């Protein structure tokens, strides 16, 4: 089991910056506004070749929250301390020791957990600022470890201090050292939706404990919170995201970054759960999220939450008919009627997610695929607007997650959106991809080039695109038209079989 290292401190001392520094990437929102972090944020961090830890960031202790969530934030801090193996108590060396720092120190001593506490003096940007940390000795937790999360000054020494503290725990309790392997995240399940649709309630119901703050107020979740859990013996990482609203309504930088973290969570998920509030009309935000899911070809479950409150107002059949008109392009996605507050339908929801992931990972043999395509095209061959007939020489599955089918044809321009929709829907009828997005790529066959060479070129193009998406944080999501994989038309939305 991994050691859990919990970061605590008053607001604005740089806890989230230290969290990001130790993780090696930007996971927690950093902003001068006090109280940005509210939930417990978790991530795996590698201290050395032989030691991984689970790092937990907490909200600022004592924050006066404008949404009256102070008690909720402090309860999350208390829950974090209860599960900690090691506590990092962070203070701001430049601001000096404040009454709130002293209050936190008393709280940690009175808790009498017996857990080791490392005092960390942040914002020591260089050797000349070292004397500013002396005042922290008065808190009674020994010599403070000076560091700067911004400049990474003395980062290595802080990491060594954390590892030494954990080794002392190993010896004290005669336990095995922390794992040297990064733990399996399992199925990555992004839970997205508009504000107050019940996303955090759903995560907590799955986890069996309060891992993220739930409130009737909108916008209580700001970071994307990873919650690793085991449900029915299966490892699952549920990603709770900030509620999305129209971009023109974003009030400040914090909401802006929360919005884009929600979109980034869609990109890194294996399966996305789009939570729709059954007690409210489908909004532009729901449609926007549906479009984002389609852009990245993510398997999706549409979870109709609060159905226990809405079932007296509509039947499931009537609601499905309404939803089909509102969320265009997701007609293939399975739909679950749930009540997160009552934990109704959640087992089936998770089973759906597992099934979708398996579908998206299926690979169809080239022979079977070509026989299927030949049969479909024989029913209704593609004809361009100019009357020219499209010809498919052969097809092959280039990738999984999402299932990506490459077609080598005489001219990609002859295969318009109408034909592609027809082809997708017929493929769903006969191939094991009935409920997941299928990506189609049309390439013009090059004369004098063998089949294997063309397939390698297509796969290399897909790999390069994937690497680009993973390595670059894009403010605007990548569109299909941004991907130069083939000269043909944009990938169509799935609407109708009719041509």
Q: Helix or strand or coil: residue 231?
A: strand
Q: Give the pTM.
A: 0.63
Rounded distance, CA 372 to CA 377, Å?
A: 9
142 plus 45 within the same structural domain: yes
First-residue to last-residue Cα distance in the chain: 57
Number of residues written out for the chain: 499
pLDDT on residue 82: 81
Q: Helix or strand or coil: residue 132?
A: helix
Check: CB of residue 154 under 8 Å from CB of residue 146.
yes
- Residue 403 located in a structural domain: yes
Number of domains making up the chain: 3
pLDDT on residue 449: 61
Tally the C-alpha atoms within 13 A of residue 398's C-alpha that lie toward its C-beta: 27
Question: E-strand spans in 288-438?
Answer: 300-305, 335-337, 392-399, 404-409
Rounded distance, CA 409 to CA 466, Å?
A: 24
User: CATH number of the domain that 125 lies in?
Assistant: 3.40.50.300
239 plus 331 within the same structural domain: yes
47 plus 164 within the same structural domain: yes
Q: How far is CA 200 from the centre of its chain?
A: 14
Residue 144: which of 212, 91, 69 has the closest Cα? Answer: 91
464 plus 397 within the same structural domain: yes
* Token pair recorded at residue 329: 């392009």
Residues of the chain with pLDDT under 70: 1, 25-40, 62-74, 76-77, 112-113, 172-185, 208-225, 231-232, 241-262, 448-499
414 plus 468 within the same structural domain: yes
Number of Cβ within a 10 Å radius of residue 220: 22
164 plus 307 within the same structural domain: no
User: Cis bond leading into 402, ω under 30°?
Assistant: yes
Rounded distance, CA 124 to CA 145, Å?
A: 10
Q: Given 310, 329, 360, which residue is the final one in a domain?
A: 360
- Residue 182 located in a structural domain: no
- Residue 441 located in a structural domain: yes
Rounded distance, CA 311 to CA 278, Å?
A: 9
pLDDT on residue 219: 35
Number of Cβ within a 10 Å radius of residue 126: 11
Alpha-helix residue ranges (DSSP H) falling in 173-226: 199-207
Tally the C-alpha atoms within 13 A of residue 367's C-alpha that lie toward its C-beta: 0
Rounded distance, CA 315 to CA 127, Å?
A: 68
370 plus 248 within the same structural domain: no
- Residue burial 43-66, b: 16+ Cβ < 10 Å; e: rest: bbbbbeeebbbbbbbbbbbbbebe
pLDDT on residue 278: 94
* Token pair recorded at residue 195: 């504000």
242 plus 123 within the same structural domain: no
Question: E-strand spans in 290-387?
Answer: 300-305, 335-337
- Residue 10 located in a structural domain: yes
Q: Given 360, 382, 416, which residue is the final one in a domain?
A: 360
User: CATH number of the domain that 417 lies in?
Assistant: 3.30.300.20
**Three-point CA angle 173, 4, 85, nearest 5°:** 40
Strand partners, 146: 121
List the domain range (segments joined by +) for residue 272. 187-360
- Residue 179 located in a structural domain: no
Name the residue with tokens 């940690």: 108
Number of H helices, E strands in the chain: 13, 15
Rounded distance, CA 171 to CA 166, Å?
A: 9
Check: CB of residue 359 under 8 Å from CB of residue 299.
yes
391 plus 373 within the same structural domain: yes
- Residue burial 384-406, b: 16+ Cβ < 10 Å; e: rest: eeeeeebebebbbbbbeebbbbb
Strand partners, 89: 8, 119
pLDDT on residue 362: 95
* Token pair recorded at residue 143: 């010599």
pLDDT on residue 307: 95
Alpha-helix residue ranges (DSSP H) falling in 58-198: 70-82, 99-111, 155-172
> Which residues have C-beta within 8 Å of that of residue 424, sequence separation ≥ 6?
438, 440, 492, 494
- Residue 223 located in a structural domain: yes
* Token pair recorded at residue 346: 């959640």
**Three-point CA angle 346, 277, 271, nearest 5°:** 50
272 plus 245 within the same structural domain: yes
Q: Given 329, 360, 391, which residue is the final one in a domain?
A: 360
314 plus 450 within the same structural domain: no
- Residue 400 located in a structural domain: yes
206 plus 316 within the same structural domain: yes
Check: CB of residue 414 under 8 Å from CB of residue 389.
yes
Tell me how far CA of residue 165 lies from CA of 104, 140, 144, 179, 413, in angstroms. 21, 17, 14, 15, 64
- Residue 498 located in a structural domain: no
Rounded distance, CA 433 to CA 368, Å?
A: 14
């Amino acid at each position: 089991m991994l050691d859990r290292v919990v970061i605590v401190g008053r607001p604005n001392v740089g806890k989230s910056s230290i969290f990001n520094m130790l993780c090696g990437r930007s996971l927690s929102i950093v902003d001068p506004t006090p109280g940005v972090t509210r939930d417990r944020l978790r991530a795996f961090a590698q201290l050395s070749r032989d030691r991984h830890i689970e790092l937990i960031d907490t909200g600022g202790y004592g924050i006066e929250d404008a949404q009256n969530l102070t008690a909720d934030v402090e309860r999350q801090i208390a829950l974090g301390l209860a599960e900690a193996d090691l506590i990092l108590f962070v203070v701001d060396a430049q601001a000096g020791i404040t009454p709130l720092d002293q209050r936190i120190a008393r709280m940690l001593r009175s808790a009498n957990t017996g857990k080791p506490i490392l005092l960390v003096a942040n914002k020591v940007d260089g050797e000349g600022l070292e004397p500013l940390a002396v005042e922290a000795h008065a808190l009674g937790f020994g010599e403070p470890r000076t560091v700067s999360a911004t400049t990474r000054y003395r980062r290595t020494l802080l990491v060594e201090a954390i590892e030494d503290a954990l080794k002392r725990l190993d010896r004290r309790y005669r336990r095995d050292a922390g794992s040297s392997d990064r733990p399996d995240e399992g199925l990555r399940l992004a839970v997205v939706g508009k504000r107050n649709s019940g996303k955090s309630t759903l995560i907590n119901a799955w986890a069996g404990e309060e891992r993220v703050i739930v409130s009737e107020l909108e916008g209580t979740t700001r970071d994307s919170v990873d919650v690793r859990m085991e449900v029915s013996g299966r490892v699952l990482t549920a990603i709770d995201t900030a509620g999305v609203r129209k971009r023109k309504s974003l009030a400040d930088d914090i909401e802006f970054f929360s919005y884009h973290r929600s979109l980034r969570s869609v990109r890194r998920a294996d399966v996305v759960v789009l939570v729709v509030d059954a007690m409210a009309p489908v909004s532009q935000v729901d449609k926007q999220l549906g479009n984002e899911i389609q852009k990245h070809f993510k398997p999706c479950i549409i979870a109709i939450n609060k159905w226990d409150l809405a079932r007296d107002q509509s039947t499931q059949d009537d609601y499905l008919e309404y939803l089909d008109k509102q969320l265009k392009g997701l007609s293939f996605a399975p739909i679950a009627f749930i009540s997160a507050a009552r934990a109704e339908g959640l087992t089936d929801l998770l089973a759906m997610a597992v099934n979708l992931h398996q579908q998206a990972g299926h690979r169809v043999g080239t022979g079977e695929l070509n026989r299927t395509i030949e049969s479909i095209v024989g029913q209704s061959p593609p004809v361009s607007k100019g009357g020219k007939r499209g010809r498919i020489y052969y097809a092959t599955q280039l990738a999984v997650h999402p299932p990506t089918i490459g077609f080598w044809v005489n001219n990609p321009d002859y295969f318009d959106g109408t034909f592609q929709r027809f082809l997708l829907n017929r493929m769903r009828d006969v191939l094991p991809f009935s409920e997941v997005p299928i990506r189609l790529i049309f390439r013009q066959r090059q004369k004098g080039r063998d089949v294997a060479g063309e397939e390698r070129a297509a796969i290399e193009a897909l790999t390069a695109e994937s690497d680009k998406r993973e390595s670059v944080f894009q403010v605007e999501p990548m569109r299909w038209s941004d991907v130069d994989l083939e000269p043909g038309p944009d990938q169509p939305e799935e609407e109708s079989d009719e041509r």
